[in-house]
Chains A and B, each alone.
Chain A
Amino acid sequence: MKFTLKPIIPLVILISLAEWLSRSGMVPPFLMPAPSQVFQCVIDDPESFKKAFLETSGASMLGLLISMIIGLFSALILSYSKNIREMFYPYALFFQTVPIIAIAPILVIWLGYGMPTVIASSFIVSVFPVIANSVMGLLSTDAQLISLFKMMDASPAQVLFKLRLPFALPQILGGFQIAGGLAVIGAIVGEFISGSGLGGLVDAARNQQRVDRVFAAVLLAALLGILFFSFVSFLNRILLKHR
């Protein structure tokens, strides 16, 4: 995908419209503050936002990293044999279906308030796409290429590292891409309960009726998700350049 500035156009239109609606009094500021007011609240208290942004970034990054490692490792085991897959894959679905908002309090009980809970929440939400995409990629290796490696008397390790993993790379990276956005969502949910980062900031601002701060934190969380997604897309472009 080529880099383009075209998505900026609807954003500018949307911000202008929101500003006009708010300033004209058509939408009351306690429902939707003017974008300039949201921007101003960040300028007024940059330290809080910077601290929250860095906390959420750190927790999301760690959650995503753990998802990538554990997800890929699980996929390797699951793709190894049909029996293993039939035994354990239904349990992997747990990560897809679990209502994270409901189990976040359990995480707090187990791991306490703070970073570990947020990282665990980020991991739980983001690991499934890594497992699902990687298993799909590892199982889709071209049968002709497997025959070719058999003919060349390749060892199982050579088949894995020189054929199946590189062949599955587009799907694995696709899983990482989806997980990147989800890792931020998981971290924010964890922070709602444990009270740190952008999630904690949203929760506190809501209690204080500071809608401008809620909007600012939500926009920063969205920005973080986009940054993660873009980073993996960039990796995608570099690693799959010749495919």
Chain B
Amino acid sequence: MSLELQSLQKIFSQSNVGLGSTSISIPDSQWLSLLGPSGCGKTTLLKLIAGLEEKSGGNLDSSFNKKEISYVFQDAALLPWLTVMENITLPLTLRGVSSKEAETEAAPWIKKLKLEKFTESFPSQLSGGLKMRVSVARALITKPKLILMDEPFAALDEPIRIELGLELRELWKSLKPTIIFVTHSITEALWLSDRVLVFQGQPGKIILDQALPFGENRDLALRGRPDFQALVEECFQLLRSSP
């Protein structure tokens, strides 16, 4: 198991919210989505795994070292004073890799994420979708084994979300990193991932741990299938009925 959580919890003392006692195993190369309302501890769980938060209790066994983990934030988190190329190569240049070498490393990701025309642009000149592509390219340039994604498509409109989701799924198929993906969209979670965890309550607890039987290849047609729709409805009812 690449990630093993045993009674892991993080309670913020001032608000008494966060992540309640959580025990799960996440195998290598799994795409796991976390669903649930705001404040139920999804982002907290990502931050605990990333080492950005201190746990209040429990255990977290991870086989990933820090250099093997990438984090994609909700609003792309680009540095406005750097060009697209400089933003993408930032993780490598911070490690002391020369700009030229880093640009060579970035080239395939730039191509895969269709950013060739924008390498010298600044973030203020990009649309929300392009900013997120840059953010994903920056996360992938270090060839991470674990990618933590915190509502990466939340600020995007539906067609762009779908397009980026498909591209990300294709990238995942070729690279097979472990992905932990936080989203508020039930459809997005079920469409993109292999397994979904539904959280509820404050502090949050897992109320559903569901493996998704849709295979590796996902396309738009899947979203209209009755079995897919039935699962969407089940998750929706579960989230609605929970206190």
B71 contacts which chain A residues (CB < 8 A)? Answer: 147-148, 151
Asked if B66 and A151 make an inter-chain contact with CB atoms under 8 angstroms apart, the answer reads: yes
Whether B208 sits at the interface, judged by CB under 8 Å, is: no
A219 within 8 A of B: no
How far apart sit A163 and B15, CA to CA, in the bound complex (Å)? 30
Given known A148-B71, A154-B94, A158-B94, contact A142–B77 (CB-CB < 8 A): yes
Q: For residue B90, which residue of chain A has the nearest CB?
A: A152
Interchain CB contact under 8 A, A144 and B73: yes
Give bound CA distance, A147 to B94, whole Å.
Answer: 14
Q: Is A44 an interface position by the 8 A CB rule?
A: no
CB neighbours of B80 from chain A (8 A): 242-243
Interface residues of B in 99-151 (CB under 8 A from A): 122-125
For chain A residues 115-166, which have a beta carbon within 8 Å of chain B?
A: 142, 144-145, 147-154, 158, 162-163, 166
List of B residues within 8 angstroms of A242 by Cβ: 80-81, 122-125
* Cβ distance A173 to chain B, nearest Cβ, rounded Å: 13
Chain A residue at minimal CB-CB distance from B65: A153
Do residues B81 and A144 form an inter-chain contact, with CB atoms below 8 A? no
Which of B66, B73, B124 meets A148, CB within 8 Å? B73
Interface size on A, residues (CB 8 A): 18
B79 at the interface (CB under 8 A from A): yes
Flag whether B75 is at the interface (Cβ < 8 A).
yes
Partner pick for B94 among A142, A152, A169, A243, CB 8 A cutoff: A152
Interfacial residues of chain A within 85-142, with CB under 8 A of chain B in the complex: 142
Q: How many angstroms between the C-alpha atoms of A169 and B81 in the bound complex?
A: 10
Nearest to A159 among chain B residues (CB) is B94
- The answer to whether the Cβ of B69 comes within 8 Å of any Cβ in the partner chain is yes
Residue of A nearest to B75 (CB): A144
Interface string of A161-188 (1 = CB under 8 A from B): 0110010010000000000000000000
User: Closest residue of chain B to A151, judged by CB?
Assistant: B71
- A243-B81 in contact given A148-B71, A151-B70, A158-B94 (Cβ < 8 Å): yes
Residues of B within 8 A of A148 (CB): 71, 73, 77
Residues of B within 8 A of A150 (CB): 51-52
- Given A147-B71, A150-B52, A151-B71: A166 touches B79 (CB 8 Å cut-off): yes
B48 at the interface (CB under 8 A from A): no
| B173: interface (CB < 8 Å) | no
Query: Which residues on the A side are within 8 Å of B123 (C-beta)?
Result: 242
Asked if B91 CB lies within 8 Å of chain A CBs, one says yes
Query: Residues of B contacting A169 with CB < 8 Å?
Result: 81
**Do the beta carbons of A145 and B79 come within 8 Å of each other?**
yes
CA distance A243 to B122 in the complex (A): 8
B residues lining the A interface (CB < 8 Å)? 47, 50-52, 66-67, 69-71, 73-75, 77, 79-81, 90-91, 94-95, 122-125
19 of the cross-chain contacts (CB-CB < 8 Å) are: A142-B77, A144-B74, A145-B77, A145-B79, A147-B47, A147-B73, A149-B94, A150-B51, A150-B52, A151-B50, A151-B66, A152-B95, A153-B66, A153-B94, A154-B94, A163-B79, A169-B81, A243-B80, A243-B124
Known: A149-B94, A243-B124. 20 other contacts (CB 8 A): A144-B75, A145-B77, A147-B47, A147-B73, A148-B73, A148-B77, A150-B51, A151-B50, A151-B52, A151-B69, A152-B90, A152-B94, A153-B95, A158-B94, A163-B79, A166-B81, A242-B123, A242-B125, A243-B80, A243-B81
